[in-house]
Every structure is written in structure tokens, then in C-alpha cells.
Amino acid sequence: MAEPQGEDRDSRTVLERYIELERSVEEEFPDLVESTSIERSPGDTPRNLRIFLSEGFIDVFVSEDIYSFHWQDGEDIVRFDNSPHHEDLDTFPDHLHVGDEVKETPLDSGNVSDKILDALNYIENNFL
């Protein structure tokens, strides 16, 4: 069978990453994570992983080089991402948004799977 090309190949890779992230967060945070869902855009392309927590949810967006973790409950909004702005931060391009404030990221891990686990730890320890 031929390897998928173009968007189909990228979509498969993203789907595999979301499935891996689902397993990781469910294993590492069984008391915090209530459920997960891979959300899809029209055409069945994986759009994001939604992680439902005991308080709020996290939307996880990943691609080959870019990530964004967006958590919110009824009051707080926290987002970790590596969008290439905020060059003044020592952790550039990685950074943290807490409400309207932008900070250096507390995430030390190099890969996305570890970063989402670190982000869940940060949220659990600072907001829940």
C-alpha cells in the first residue's frame, strides 16, 4: 500500500500524535482527566484534542513544529504555545499566556508529549 501524500499524510501523523497524547494524559492524570475527544474539521481531518478535566478543559493543537495548549474554566484562561512572537522572552519561542499577561514558559521538556504533561502539572498546581 502506498504511503499517503500531502494533507492525508500530515493528517494521519497528527491523528497518531493526538492518540498518543490521549493515552499519556489519561495514564498520568487519572484523577484530573475525565475524558478526551479528538475533534475533527469538515472532511474528517483531526483538528484538535480536547481534554476534559475535573475543572474546565484543555484544547491541544499540534503540527510538526508548532503546539498550543489552551486551558480554560469558568474564570481563568491559560495558554502555552510556541508561536514565534515575544522575542524578548528567554524561552522564545515558547511562552505562556495567563489572561492578558505573557510570561516565560515553565515547560522544560523538549517534546510535545512531555510538554502537555508539564502543562497539566502546572495547571493542576497553580489553578485547581
Tell me the per-residue pLDDT of 76-107, one tens digit each, with 9 for 90 and over: 899 999 999 999 999 999 999 999 999 999 99
Q: Of 110, 109, 111, 4, which Cα lies nearest the Cα of 122?
A: 109
Domain count, the chain: 1
DSSP assignment letter at 110? S
Please list, in sequence order, all residues whose beta carbon lies within 8 angstroms of the beta carbon of residue 72, skipping any fewer than 6 positions away: 56, 57, 78
Other C-beta atoms within 10 Å of 26: how many? Answer: 15
Residue 25 maps to a domain: yes
pLDDT tens-digit profile of 28-42?
999 999 999 999 999
Residue 1 maps to a domain: no
Coil vs helix vs strand at 40: strand
Q: What is the pTM for the complete model shown? A: 0.83
CB 64 within 8 A of CB 50: no
Residue 56 maps to a domain: yes
Determine the structural domain holding residue 122 and report its residue range: 6-127
Coil vs helix vs strand at 59: strand
Other C-beta atoms within 10 Å of 1: how many? Answer: 3
